[in-house]
Amino acid sequence: RKEVEQDPGPFNVPEGATVAFNCTYSNSASQSFFWYRQDCRKEPKLLMSVYSSGNEDGRFTAQLNRASQYISLLIRDSKLSDSATYLCVVNTGSYIPTFGRGTSLIVHP
């Protein structure tokens, strides 16, 4: 099993839709979790950290499920500008951040 797994998608949704992605991790000792966003032909940028209690930033909500070893990202009221690849990053307890392969989101009019 890969350390960090994501469904590559693409998730194709209309504007205004709610969409959710999951990211599963294999190391139960993983300590911290993050979502990054990468636009086409651009660099990854931190979107949000994922806290144990869950956290929300505007239309974006991140959740952690330690029992099932996954994190999720929920986007409400999708905008065209949300189209991007969403990468999850897991701290597996080493200096090496482990990136998932990313989930591609396409929001269409």
Partner 1 sequence: DTAVSQTPKYLVTQMGNDKSIKCEQNLGHDTMYWYKQDSKKFLKIMFSYNNKELIINETVPNRFSPKSPDKAHLNLHINSLELGDSAVYFCASSQGDELYIQYFGAGTRLSVL
Residue ranges that bind partner 1, judged by CB under 8 A:
32, 34, 38, 42-46, 49, 85, 87, 89, 91, 95-97, 99, 101-102
Nearer to partner 1, 42 or 66 (CB): 42
Tell me the C-alpha distance between 105 and 94, whole Å: 30
Q: What's the min distance (Å) between Cβ of 77 and partner 1?
A: 26
The answer to whether 36 and 73 are in contact (CB under 8 A) is no
Nearer to partner 1, 19 or 88 (CB): 88
For 44-67, give the DSSP string: EEEEEEE-TT-EEETTEEEEEETT
Nearer to partner 1, 39 or 77 (CB): 39
Give the number of other CB atoms < 10 A from CB of residue 18. Answer: 12
Q: What's the min distance (Å) between Cβ of 23 and partner 1?
A: 14
